[in-house]
Structure 1
Amino acid sequence: MWIWQDLAARASRAAHGSSLVGTVTALVVTTLLIHLLVVYQRRQKLPPGPWPWPVVGNLFVLNGRPHRKLQKLAATYGGLMYIQLGERRCLVVSTAAAAKEVFKKHDQAFSSRPRSLVLTVLTAGTYRSLPAAPYGQYWRQLRRLANTRLFSPATHASHEGIRHGEVRNMMKVLVEESQKGTSTINLKKWLTGVTSNNMTMMITRNRYFDIRDKNQEKRGYDDVLRRSVDANGALVISDYVPWLSFITKLQGWEEYLLGLQRRGREMVAKIIEVDNHKRREKDVTKDESYVPDMVDVLLKAPLDDAGKPLSDGEISSLLLSLINAGTDTTATTAEWVMAELMANPDIREQAQAEIDTVVGLDRLVQESDIPNLPLLQAIIKETFRLHPAAPLSVKRESHEPCVVSGWSIPTQTELILNIYAIHRDPNMYDNPDVFRPSRFLEHPEVNPLSGHDFFELIPFGVGRRMCPGANLAYTLASLMVANLLHSFDWALPDGESPATMDMSEAISFVLYREKPLCLIAKPRRPASLY
C-alpha cells in the first residue's frame, strides 16, 4: 500500500513542479511579448535602428570603440539612426547629409545637455559650466562671454605673441635635446607642453609648466587632465538604467570622480590665482602697461545685462573647462599630423619644400605665413578628417519635440554626432580611409571652422554647441606642425618604417594614439635662430 502512496506523492510533486515551470515560462514569454509590443509601437514614428535588448537596450555600442561600432551600424540602418540606451532614447547622426538635415533646421531643439553622474559630480551638481550647462539663459550668457571676450577675433589676435613665444620655447629646447643625440623624442609630451603653457599664458600671463616635464607638479596636471577627459567618455550604467545604481557604487565611480573634482579644483586654483588678480585690480600703483589676461577679463565682465558678475567658482569652472578642452585635444591633433607625415614621407617632403619656399631659412614660421601654405592647410584638414580629436561629440539632448526627415523625435532624446563616421562618409569622400591631403587642395573652400556650412568636415562640432576655441586650436596646431617641419628633419627609430607604423587608436573620449609617437629629430636650422 505504501508503494502506491509514494508513487502518488511523487506524481503530485512532479505535477506541481511542472505547473511551476509552466507558470514561469508563461510569465517570461508574456513579458517578452509585452516588451516586443511596446518597442514596436514606440519605434513606428522613430528612425530605423537595431532592435534593443530588454533592460539595457543597445547600450553595448558604447563599450570599446563606440565610434566604430556606431559607424558599422549606420552602414545598415542609415545616417539617421535610433538606438535605445537603457531607459534613454538616442538619435545617432552618421552622415554629412543627416547632419545637415538635423542642424540646419533643428540645431536649437538639440542644444541642451543630458544629465550624467560625471557632470553632476564634476560640477558639484550645478551644471554651471560652458560645456555642461543645459540650453537656456545661463548657457547663452556664458557662450556670449566666450565669443565676445575670450575667443573673439580681437582677443585671438592679441594672443598671437603668446602662441609664438611658446612655439619658439619648444623649438629651442627641442634643438638642445636633439643635439645630445641620446634618445628619441616623445613628441606628444612636447606638444602638450606647448598647449598647456599657451593656455596658462592666456589665462594668467604665466608659464606654469616646465616643458621638459621634469617636475612632479606637471605630471600631476597631465594626469588630472587625461583622467578628466577620459571620464567624459566613460560608460556609467546608472546613467542609463537608474535602478542598477548599485553596480555604479560597487565600481566606485562617485568616490573616483569626487577625488578628480578635488584635484581639478586645486590645480585650477593654483593656475588662475583669483585673489591675486583682485588685489592687483585694486592696486592704485599698478603698472598701467599691464595687458589683462582672461581672469582679469572675467572678473570685470558682466554675466548678464543687469551687470551681475561671475562668481569666483564660475570663473574657475569656466577656465578649467577651457583648459580641459583646449590642451590635450590640440596636442593630440598635431601628433596625428606628424604620425601621418611619417607614414607618408613623400607628402612630408613636399610640405617642407613648400614651407622653405614661403618662409625662407632665416626665421621661424609665423601665423601670417599659414594662408600662403595651401599644402600645410590641406594636411591639417585631412588629419582633422581622419583623426578628429573627439570622434563622438559631447552628447546633446532635445529640449522640445521636433520632426526630422519625417520622423517624430520626442523631448529628452539624446543626440550623438558621430564625427568619425561623417568624416569617412563614402558619399562625400573617395577612399575615405586613405590619408590624401590633395582632396582639400582640390576643394580649398571646405572650412572646418564654419560650423554650419561644410558638414562633411566638422572636427569642432556644429551650430550653437560648436567648440568656441576652434580658431585657436586650428591656428596653434598649424603653427606647431609648420615649425616642426621647417626646423627639423624627422626619422623613425631603428627597426621602424613608414609601412609598419602602428596607427592604432586608444580607447577614450579623445582619439589618442595608442602608441606615443617617438621620433629622432635632426635640426635643419642653426640654434641661434631660436
Structure 2
Amino acid sequence: MHRWLYGKRCEEADHMMRYVYNQCQSPIIDGLVNEWRMEAPDWKRNEQIHGIFTILKYVYGLGIADYLPWLEVFDLDGHKTILKYAIKSDSNKNPLLSIEEIKAEIIEIMLAAVDNPSNAVEWILAEMINQPNILHRTCQELDQVVGRDRLVDESDLSKLNYVKACVKEAFRLHPIVPFNVPHVSSKDTIVGGYFIPKGSQVLLSRLGLGRNPRIWEDPLVYKPERHIVNKESEVVLVDHELRMLSFSTGRRGCPGIVLGSTMTTILLARLIQGFSWTAPPNGPSNIDLVESEGDMVKAMPLIAHAVPRLEPHVYSKLVS
C-alpha cells in the first residue's frame, strides 16, 4: 500500500502548483496580480472576467441528468451506486449505515483528509508572509537541499527539517477543529487523578494542548524553531509525548497520519519552492490571522501575491 501511494502523494501538490502557475501566466489574472495595463478597453476586460466566473459557476453546478431526465436511470455521476452500497441492508433487513452515519462519515473525511492539510498550509503561508524571516529560511533550506533545477519530491522530505518544523508548528497552533473526535470510556478509570465513569464521552482538546502556556513558551506565536532540538535530530510530525495532537491518538487514532502529514509537507514545500509569496500589492502589508467562529480555519480565505521563482522549464511537466 505504501509503495502504491509513493509518488501519488505529490499529485495534489502538482495540481496546486499547476493552478497557481497558470494563474500567473494568464493575461487576465496577470493584469490583476501584477497591475499591468491590458490593451483591451475596460468594458471588454470586465466582460471577459464576468464570462470566466459565469462559466465556473455552471461547470461546478452542471448535472446532465438535470437537463435530460431520461438519463437519470443510468446514474452517470455514480452517486446513487455509492449510496446504494453504503445503505445496503444486513441479514436482519437493517441498513448497515443510516443517513445520519453517512453524513457524519462524509464530514469526518472532509475534515481529516481534505481540509486538514489545506488548512495547515493556508495558515503556514499566512504566518510566513507576516514573518518574512521564516519564509526566507524555508526557501534557503529548499534551495540547499533540492536546488532550483527540479521540483521537490517526497524523497527529499527527510532532509527538509525546517519545512517539517513549519508544518508541525501549524498543527500545534492552528488545528482545524478545537477537539478531537469524541471517545467513550469502556470502563471506569482514573486519568491524572480524575475519575472517569464508564460510558463517559471524552474529548481531547487539540486547542488546549497546543496552546498550553505551561508547556509552550509564547504559545500564540508561530515559531517553528521550537520543534528543532538540534541540527542532528529529525523533526517528527507526531508528538508522542502528547504535548499536542496533530492527528488523533491511541488504538483508534487516525489511520492516515503518514499520508496526511506527507501530503501537507509536500504541498507546502512545492508552494514555497515554486513561488515567491507576499501580501497583495494594494492591500495591508500583513495578512489577517483571525479565526472563524465555528471552527479554527481562517475567517477570511488567504489572498496572497505569488510570483514564480524557478526557471520556466521546471514547471514544464506541470503545465504540459
Pick the TM interval, shorter chain: 0.7 to 0.9
**Deviations along 1:249-305, whole A, 9 cap, x unmatched?**
xxxxxxxxxxxxxxxxx9994498699xx9xxxxxxxxxxxxxxxxxxxxxxxxxxx
Please say if 1:415 is aligned against 2:202.
yes
The answer (yes or no) to whether the contact 1:178–1:520 under 8 Å persists in 2 is: no
1:433 maps to what in 2? 220
What TM-score do you get using the length of structure 1 for normalisation?
0.45
Q: For residues 407 and 176 of structure 1, do their structure 2 counterparts lie closer, same or farther at Cα, with a shift above 3 Å needed?
A: closer
1:159 maps to what in 2? 5
Report SS of the residue matched to 2:203: strand
CA positional deviation for 1:160 = 2.6
Please say if 1:447 is aligned against 2:236.
yes
1:319, 1:403 → 2: CA distance? 31
2:21 to 164, 172, 175: 175
1:497 to 270, 281, 285: 285
1:524 maps to what in 2? 309
1:389, 1:267 → 2: CA distance? 34
Q: How does 1:41-56 map to 2 (within 5 A)?
A: none
Q: For residues 366 and 271 of structure 1, do their structure 2 counterparts lie closer, same or farther at Cα, with a shift above 3 Å needed?
A: farther
Report SS of the residue matched to 2:292: coil
Q: For residues 183 and 412 of structure 1, do their structure 2 counterparts lie closer, same or farther at Cα, with a shift above 3 Å needed?
A: farther
1:350, 1:495 → 2: CA distance? 25
CA positional deviation for 1:406 = 3.8
Letter in 1 for 2:130: A
CA positional deviation for 1:483 = 0.8
**Deviations along 1:193-243, whole A, 9 cap, x unmatched?**
xxxxxxxxxxxxxxxxxxxx93556479xxxxxxxxxxxxxxxxxxxxxxx
Indicate the structure with greater helix content: 1
CA positional deviation for 1:515 = 1.0
Q: For residues 271 and 513 of structure 1, do their structure 2 counterparts lie closer, same or farther at Cα, with a shift above 3 Å needed?
A: farther
The answer (yes or no) to whether the contact 2:164–2:237 under 8 Å persists in 1 is: no
**Deviations along 1:334-362, whole A, 9 cap, x unmatched?**
10111111111011011001101111111
2:65 maps to what in 1? none
2:126 maps to what in 1? 339
2:139 to 334, 341, 352: 352
Q: For residues 169 and 312 of structure 1, do their structure 2 counterparts lie closer, same or farther at Cα, with a shift above 3 Å needed?
A: farther
Q: How does 1:217-256 map to 2 (within 5 A)?
A: 218=60
Q: For residues 429 and 324 of structure 1, do their structure 2 counterparts lie closer, same or farther at Cα, with a shift above 3 Å needed?
A: closer
Letter in 2 for 1:214: L
Q: For residues 219 and 384 of structure 1, do their structure 2 counterparts lie closer, same or farther at Cα, with a shift above 3 Å needed?
A: farther
| Structure 1, gaps ≥5 residues long | 1-154, 186-212, 221-265, 279-310
CA positional deviation for 1:422 = 0.8
Letter in 2 for 1:502: D
**Deviations along 1:499-518, whole A, 9 cap, x unmatched?**
xx310101224x11001100
Please say if 1:382 is aligned against 2:228.
no
2:70 maps to what in 1? none
Q: How does 1:101-500 map to 2 (within 5 A)?
A: 155-179=1-25, 180=27, 181-183=30-32, 214=56, 216=58, 218=60, 269-270=78-79, 317=102, 320=106, 321-442=108-229, 444=233, 447-449=236-238, 453-493=240-280, 494-498=282-286
Letter in 2 for 1:373: L
The answer (yes or no) to whether the contact 1:183–1:520 under 8 Å persists in 2 is: no
Q: For residues 218 and 325 of structure 1, do their structure 2 counterparts lie closer, same or farther at Cα, with a shift above 3 Å needed?
A: farther
CA positional deviation for 1:324 = 4.8
Q: For residues 172 and 329 of structure 1, do their structure 2 counterparts lie closer, same or farther at Cα, with a shift above 3 Å needed?
A: same
Report SS of the residue matched to 1:341: helix
The answer (yes or no) to whether the contact 1:172–1:527 under 8 Å persists in 2 is: no
CA positional deviation for 1:465 = 2.8
The answer (yes or no) to whether the contact 2:228–2:235 under 8 Å persists in 1 is: no
CA positional deviation for 1:400 = 1.6
Report SS of the residue matched to 1:464: coil
2:14, 2:235 → 1: CA distance? 30
CA positional deviation for 1:435 = 1.2
Letter in 1 for 2:17: M
2:96, 2:32 → 1: CA distance? 45
The answer (yes or no) to whether the contact 2:146–2:156 under 8 Å persists in 1 is: yes
The answer (yes or no) to whether the contact 1:448–1:460 under 8 Å persists in 2 is: no
CA positional deviation for 1:392 = 1.1
CA positional deviation for 1:497 = 1.3
2:255, 2:155 → 1: CA distance? 22
Greater Cα radius of gyration, structure 1 or 2: 1
- Equivalent pairs, count: 265
2:44 maps to what in 1? none
Give the CA RMSD over aligned residues.
Answer: 3.3
1:371, 1:387 → 2: CA distance? 23
Report SS of the residue matched to 2:56: coil
Q: For residues 433 and 272 of structure 1, do their structure 2 counterparts lie closer, same or farther at Cα, with a shift above 3 Å needed?
A: farther
The answer (yes or no) to whether the contact 2:292–2:298 under 8 Å persists in 1 is: yes
Letter in 2 for 1:417: L
Q: For residues 178 and 463 of structure 1, do their structure 2 counterparts lie closer, same or farther at Cα, with a shift above 3 Å needed?
A: same
Report SS of the residue matched to 1:403: strand
Report SS of the residue matched to 2:32: coil
What TM-score do you get using the length of structure 2 for normalisation?
0.72
Letter in 2 for 1:342: I
Q: For residues 515 and 158 of structure 1, do their structure 2 counterparts lie closer, same or farther at Cα, with a shift above 3 Å needed?
A: same
Q: For residues 464 and 218 of structure 1, do their structure 2 counterparts lie closer, same or farther at Cα, with a shift above 3 Å needed?
A: farther
CA positional deviation for 1:526 = 3.0
Report SS of the residue matched to 1:522: strand
**Deviations along 1:10-58, whole A, 9 cap, x unmatched?**
xxxxxxxxxxxxxxxxxxxxxxxxxxxxxxxxxxxxxxxxxxxxxxxxx
CA positional deviation for 1:382 = 0.9
Q: For residues 328 and 184 of structure 1, do their structure 2 counterparts lie closer, same or farther at Cα, with a shift above 3 Å needed?
A: farther
